[in-house]
Amino acid sequence: MSLNEAQRAEIDQLKAQTSQTRRVTVPALEEILYDPLPVLDHGFVRVIDYMGDDAAIVQAARVSYGKGTKQVRQDAGLIRYLMRHWHTTPFEMCEIKYHIKLPIFVARQWIRHRTANVNEYSARYSILDREFYLPAPQHLAVQSKANRQGRGDALEGDEAARVLDLLRQDAERNYAHYTEMMNEGADGEPLDTGREGLARELARMNLTLNTYTQWYWKCDLHNLLHFLRLRADDHAQYEIRAFADVMLDTVQRWTPAAYQAFVDYRLGSAEISAQGMDVIKRLLAGEAVTAETAGMSPREWRELMALLGREG
């Protein structure tokens, strides 16, 4: 992880100031407010601001449900009820804003989640840092034969070293050409070649997708949890999952009751179809159900058996 001097100065200034407020604050999240939490080799996640807490979720729910919820003894119980039954609106009452530094190829995957407010570093206006994501050797893997979106076995030895060298060389060469075309160094100063430089908005197209970018990303808790449900999952690409795992830790600090309900009812759960429920009921009744008699596709059958820890 790396920060430039301006960012370090900004963080020091923000952490030095204190404000009196009547708003609810969360001490566990205040502890890490503004701090860069390392991700990958040069990336980070920073919590910049937030609104609400577990109590805000409960407050919103009780406005909607009225006196009927007085039977719920604890706020955590109500939050678990809301999560269990997919009552999502109360979770939208909480919001959080992050500053994130991430490789461009991760950002392009991330932006598919269209439920946040995003403002990205402008490479039309400014010069991108000379920083590139290079995977650790254990994360270099061949294409999976079973999953077109996934990885198979890890590369080893000379082959892994060769791939890392290619990634590094391509990134370094393209960045050098980027600054040469603009006739500007990374500090924005002219390279003193006596010629006009190419516009930044054009020169940037030569950069590799492992170049780092940055953005501010603001989202309500409901949509953040939806993002994390997909991106903190074991099947997600490692690089975006690394960011999701760090963000999941910030949610645990911010709204611990909602976090636990999310882990129990989303991350640690599974969706089962009507046909799957029928198979489970038949199995519990002692019936010998097979793939041929289940009324499911072979893939659905295999997935259900894997969930139940049974042989397919």
Residue 232: CATH number of its domain: 3.30.1360.170
Q: Which pLDDT score is estimated for 72?
A: 40
Number of independent structural domains in the chain? 3
Residues 193 and 122: their CA atoms lie apart, in Å, by 25
Q: Which pLDDT score is estimated for 130?
A: 92
Residue 140: pLDDT band (50, 70, 90) is confident
Residues 180 and 186: their CA atoms lie apart, in Å, by 10
Residue 243 sits in the same domain as residue 298: no
Residues 287 and 183: their CA atoms lie apart, in Å, by 75
> Is the Cα torsion angle 266, 269, 275, 278 positive or negative in sign?
negative
Q: Which pLDDT score is estimated for 15?
A: 84
Per-residue pLDDT of 260-293, as tens digits, reads 999 999 998 889 999 999 999 999 999 999 999 9
Given the structure tokens 């500007």, which residue do they identify? 184
Of 20-34, 55-69, 199-213, 294-308, the least confident = 55-69
Residue 250 CB: number of other CB atoms within 10 A?
22
How large a percentage of the chain has pLDDT more than 70? Answer: 92
Whether 68 has a pLDDT exceeding 60, the answer reads no
Whether 35 has a pLDDT exceeding 60, the answer reads yes
Q: Which pLDDT score is estimated for 67?
A: 53
Residue 31 sits in the same domain as residue 61: yes
Residue 98 sits in the same domain as residue 4: yes
Catalytic residues: 231
Whether 105 has a pLDDT exceeding 80, the answer reads yes
Residue 225 sits in the same domain as residue 125: yes
Residues 70 and 51: their CA atoms lie apart, in Å, by 25
Residue 116 sits in the same domain as residue 23: yes
Residue 259 sits in the same domain as residue 241: yes
Which amino acid, 50?
Y
**Residue 42 carries which DSSP code?**
T
In order, the DSSP letters of 76-111 are HHHHHHHHHTT--GGGGG-EEEEEEEEEHHHHHHHT
Start-to-end Cα distance in the chain = 45
Q: Which of 294, 236, 82 is nearest to 308 (CA)?
A: 294
Calculate mean pLDDT across residues 177-189.
Answer: 81
Whether 139 has a pLDDT exceeding 90, the answer reads no
Q: Is residue 310 helix, strand or coil?
A: coil
Residue 118 sits in the same domain as residue 185: no
Structural domain boundaries, residue 86: 1-133+210-269
Per-residue pLDDT of 238-248, as tens digits, reads 999 999 999 99
Whether 70 has a pLDDT exceeding 60, the answer reads no
Residue 117 sits in the same domain as residue 233: yes
* CA distances for 253 relative to 29, 237, 248, angstroms: 5, 25, 9
> Is the Cα torsion angle 182, 187, 193, 194 positive or negative in sign?
positive
Residue 37 sits in the same domain as residue 12: yes
Residue 106 sits in the same domain as residue 201: no
Residue 237 sits in the same domain as residue 290: no
Residue 296 CB: number of other CB atoms within 10 A?
18
- Burial class of residue 100 in the structure, from the number of CB atoms within 10 Å of its CB (0-12 exposed, 13-18 middle, 19+ buried): buried
